[in-house]
């Protein structure tokens, strides 16, 4: 974030400074006016004018810090007011829909979720339930919604939220952004779940200091979100991140995409169930409980998940060699893996990846956001637009 270049119109400069300051508070949290001036490269009089204007509008407030250091009068902290800008975040999963009202600064003000079954996965059913639940949350919290962000496990056209295909939901050619936006009557943005998981990790998770990262989301399938140079890699029309369809096992298990031996057929949820000797439709809670029990018995991990770990590592080697990220974040179901499995997969990458050896070892870590990553990412997607218009 830098000061506007010379020749910028005053109104444009004020709008730029306002949105830059809000984004700093939204992402970095409360700070003093002096810190804002230093980090944004603006003089103190400009910062004062922007903060005073936002305070008058009720978007920020100033307060004495709870912890004081040194003598003299303490500098006031500028704090965003969460309810002054609220977005609706929606995470459509294969088995559940999670929703939250999120205020500026990332504070979750209220949330709701419900389970999906085969008869309730139809796009129209999901849209109706989202609209009804959004109304209930909005009335309960007495907030004004400024925008909507939606995460979907499928191939999404970011320009208009058109879902080309979400195979594990049984969706194809669904104009989700247009349909949901028309009913909710709020600006509505839709993104791929793994891409939004990457955004969440970059803004509020394990990758806050990383400019180049890959986020892997494992559910029934496997998807990836990629950030390069601090910006999301989206590809043509926003269709990117189908890392689960990297070929790792020629002649292997058939995949719904028409190929055989895709990465997700070896490390997705059904594959993990098979490795543990469980039915492929085992409920998520029971599967996670089984993984936790296994983590407490390290002597059994190699014999039970040894092959699974090899396929996880093999796919990671390809991802690291192709994209050269400084960090790989394992999300969703992969966060439940025993630490020994993650350590072994990390070791496979360090041993076999030319790129990882060249950069001194690509970091591989587990998401601290867990299953909330995609919900957080959906909120941040909405805020990208909202912060420009406050």
What are the distances in angstroms from CA 20 to CA 15, 62, 205?
Answer: 8, 18, 21
CATH number, domain at 59?
A: 1.10.10.10
Query: What gap in Å lies between CA 132 and CA 34, rounded to an integer?
Result: 44
**Does 4 fall in a domain?**
no
> What confidence score (pLDDT) does residue 172 get?
94
Residue 232 and residue 180 in one domain = no
DSSP-derived secondary structure letter, 73: P
Residues 19 and 102 in one domain: no
**Spatial CB neighbours of 289, under 8 Å, sequence gap ≥ 6:** none
Does residue 3 fall inside a structural domain?
no
pLDDT of residue 2: 46
Measure the CA–CA gap between 132 and 353, rounded to whole angstroms. Answer: 49
What's residue 359's pLDDT?
Answer: 79
Same domain, 299 and 237: yes
- Read off the tokens for 81: 């007011």
| Residue span of the structural domain in which 320 resides | 206-368
> What CATH number has the domain bearing residue 136?
3.30.420.40
pLDDT of residue 298: 86
One domain, residues 37 and 91? no
Structure tokens at 312: 């996880």
Dig out the tokens for 238 from the structure.
């926003």
364 shares a domain with 230: yes
Averaged pLDDT in 10-residue chunks for the chain of 390 residues:
51 90 96 95 95 96 76 80 97 95 97 88 94 96 96 92 92 96 95 95 95 92 93 81 92 91 94 96 93 92 95 96 95 95 96 89 94 96 93
Q: Considering the domain boundaries, does residue 2 fall inside one? A: no
Domain final residue, candidates 26, 47, 80: 80
- Is residue 282, in this structure, part of any structural domain at all? yes
**pTM across the whole model:** 0.91
Q: If we measure between CA atoms, which residue out of 219, 130, 233 comes closest to residue 176? A: 130
Give the phi and the psi of residue 363 in degrees, each rounded to 5: -75, 135
Domain match, 270 and 339 both = yes
Instruction: Looking at the structure, tell me whether residues 227 and 305 fall in a common domain.
Output: yes
Instruction: Examine the domain organization and report whether 289 and 266 are in the same domain.
Output: yes
């Amino acid at each position: 974030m830098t000061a506007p270049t010379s020749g910028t119109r005053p109104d444009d400069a004020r709008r730029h400074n306002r949105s830059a300051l809000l984004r700093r508070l939204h992402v970095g949290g409360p700070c003093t006016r002096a810190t804002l001036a230093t980090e944004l490269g603006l003089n103190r009089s400009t910062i004062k004018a922007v903060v005073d204007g936002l305070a008058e509008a009720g978007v920020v407030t100033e307060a004495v810090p709870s912890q004081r250091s040194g003598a003299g009068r303490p500098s006031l902290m500028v704090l965003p007011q969460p309810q002054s800008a609220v977005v609706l975040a929606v995470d459509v999963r294969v088995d559940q829909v999670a929703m939250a009202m999120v205020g500026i600064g990332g504070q979750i003000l209220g949330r709701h979720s419900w389970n999906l079954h085969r008869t309730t996965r139809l796009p129209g059913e999901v849209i109706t339930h989202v609209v009804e639940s959004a109304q209930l949350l909005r009335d309960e919290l007495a907030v004004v919604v400024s925008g909507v962000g939606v995460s979907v496990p499928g191939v999404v056209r970011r320009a208009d939220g058109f879902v080309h295909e979400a195979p594990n939901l049984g969706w194809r050619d669904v104009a989700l952004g247009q349909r949901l936006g028309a009913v909710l009557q709020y600006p509505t943005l839709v993104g791929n779940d793994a891409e939004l998981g990457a955004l969440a990790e970059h803004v509020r998770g394990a990758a806050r200091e990383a400019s180049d990262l890959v986020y892997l989301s494992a559910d029934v399938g496997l998807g990836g979100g990629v950030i390069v140079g601090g910006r999301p890699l989206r590809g043509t029309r926003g269709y990117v991140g189908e890392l689960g369809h990297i070929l790792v096992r020629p002649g292997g298990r058939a995949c719904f995409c028409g190929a055989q031996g895709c990465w997700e057929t070896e490390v997705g949820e059904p594959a993990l169930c098979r490795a543990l000797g469980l039915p492929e439709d085992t409920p998520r809670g029971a599967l996670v409980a089984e993984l936790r029990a296994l983590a407490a018995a390290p002597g059994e991990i190699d014999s039970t998940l040894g092959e699974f770990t090899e396929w996880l590592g093999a796919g990671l080697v390809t991802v690291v060699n192709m994209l050269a990220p400084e960090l790989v974040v394992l999300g969703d179901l992969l966060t439940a893996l025993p630490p020994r499995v993650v350590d072994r997969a990390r070791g496979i990458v360090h041993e076999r990846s030319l790129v990882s050896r060249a950069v001194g070892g690509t970091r591989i870590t587990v998401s601290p956001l867990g299953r909330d990553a995609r919900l957080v990412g959906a909120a941040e997607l909405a805020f990208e637009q909202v912060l420009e218009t406050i």
